[in-house]
Amino acid sequence: MTQDFKRNEATGLDLGWLNHIHVNKAAAERRAASLANRRTVKKEYQAAWLVKAIELIDLTTLSGDDTPGRVERLCMKALRPLRTDLVEALGLQERNLKTGAVCVYHEMIRHADKVLQGRLPIAAVSTGFPAGLTSMETKVREIELSVADGAQEIDIVITRQHVLTGNWQALYDEMVAYRQACGEAHVKAILATGDLVTLENVAKASWVCMMAGADFIKTSTGKEGVNATIPVSLVMVRAIREYYERTGFKVGYKPAGGVSTAKAALQYMTVMKEELGNEWLEPHLFRIGASSLLTDIERQLEHHVTGNYSAAHRHAQP
Ligand SMILES: O=C[C@H](O)COP(=O)(O)O
């Protein structure tokens, strides 16, 4: 029997048990290296996986020079992510292919909404993205305004100093406040893992955010020196797995920042499949935050289609 999807909520688990979390860095790095060195998806399945990857993308623009025009074009691309000739060549006419969501700054929500009109979720980065160093009052208000403007998903940034000083209660309280301010909107907690120094901190921050009700945990803003990596992802998805085993809540995962190649997307999808199973390969539990990944996926699918055409053409020759 399939289990109904239960929305995550603050569990009140005792923060004291974080002291027992230990991460084997060498093992995570070994596993990451083995993923990097093997073909993660068989060649004949790659096109299908890449089409699936499109549906997992939070198509993102988070630049200081964003304009309403750029956001509108992004949204049109999110609704029709592949060129018509590719859609036809891949036999996807009936699929209504779209990205998972679009991800924009607060000021751009209404411009995105104008194009999307409810056909795709809008994720907004709120809480003083990317550093998160405005006042708590300002950050909570920003969430409320983003929800009021039409964002169905809020990507919050945690206050890194709470992790760096080991103040887990402060991180928990902050996350609970964000969760409440989001109301019905889904909340993704950006850990900014590149700022957190150790994998152990990444694991603990993942746990605290999940315990406080985050629907997703997300690696990065895309603005840190180091953004999504496979070792960090292994630590985070294993925290998600253990959290599910302890509480029954399924929390989603979002690697973000620097995921720009089809090959990298396949690696992250393989991590999800192998560590959490097929259910975590769906957009309600897995997103890839990326601004340029779609371009490379489109390019690879074009190669696939052209390759097939050449093969068919060669067969047709006497
Ligand atoms: O949340 C998404 C990231 O900001 C996107 O980063 P990217 O521009 O490196 O793909």
Q: What percent of the chain has pLDDT over 90?
A: 86
Q: Are strands 153-157 and 101-105 parallel, antiparallel or unpaired?
A: unpaired
The pLDDT tens digits for 38-55 are: 888 888 899 999 999 999
Q: What is the per-residue pLDDT for 39? A: 82
DSSP H helix total and E strand total for the chain: 12, 8
**CB distance 289 to ligand 1 below 6 Å:** yes
**CB distance 78 to ligand 1 below 6 Å:** no
Q: What percent of the chain has pLDDT over 70?
A: 94
The pLDDT tens digits for 65-96 are: 999 999 999 999 999 999 999 999 999 999 99
Which of 16-20, 107-111, 191-195, 275-279 has the least mean pLDDT? 16-20
Question: Both ends of the chain: CA-CA distance in Å?
Answer: 54
Residue nearest to atom 10 of ligand 1 (CA): 290
Residue nearest to atom 6 of ligand 1 (CA): 257
Nearest-angstrom CA–CA distance, 146 and 157:
14
Nearest-angstrom CA–CA distance, 202 and 204:
6
Q: What is the per-residue pLDDT for 72? A: 98
**CB distance 228 to ligand 1 below 6 Å:** no
Q: What is the per-residue pLDDT for 318? A: 42
Which tokens sit at 173? Answer: 């309280």
Q: What is the per-residue pLDDT for 59? A: 98
**CB distance 300 to ligand 1 below 6 Å:** no
Which residue is listed with tokens 């979720």? 121
Nearest-angstrom CA–CA distance, 247 and 212:
12
Domains of the chain: 19-305 (3.20.20.70)
Q: Which of 98, 139, 254, 296 is catalytic?
A: 254
**CB distance 60 to ligand 1 below 6 Å:** yes
254 included as an active-site residue: yes
The pLDDT tens digits for 130-139 are: 999 999 999 9
Q: What is the per-residue pLDDT for 3? A: 40
SS3 155: strand
**CB distance 157 to ligand 1 below 6 Å:** no
Contact between 274 and 242 under an 8 Å Cβ cutoff? The reply is no
pTM, whole model, 2 decimals?
Answer: 0.93
Residue nearest to atom 7 of ligand 1 (CA): 257
155 included as an active-site residue: yes
Model confidence at 281: pLDDT above 50:
yes
Q: Which atom in ligand 1 lies closest to the alpha carbon of residue 260?
A: 10
Nearest-angstrom CA–CA distance, 297 and 166:
40
Contact between 252 and 215 under an 8 Å Cβ cutoff? The reply is yes
Contact between 175 and 208 under an 8 Å Cβ cutoff? The reply is yes
Contact between 155 and 121 under an 8 Å Cβ cutoff? The reply is no
Q: Which atom in ligand 1 lies closest to the alpha carbon of residue 258?
A: 9
Q: Which atom in ligand 1 lies closest to the alpha carbon of residue 259?
A: 10
Q: Which of 155, 195, 215, 296 is catalytic?
A: 155
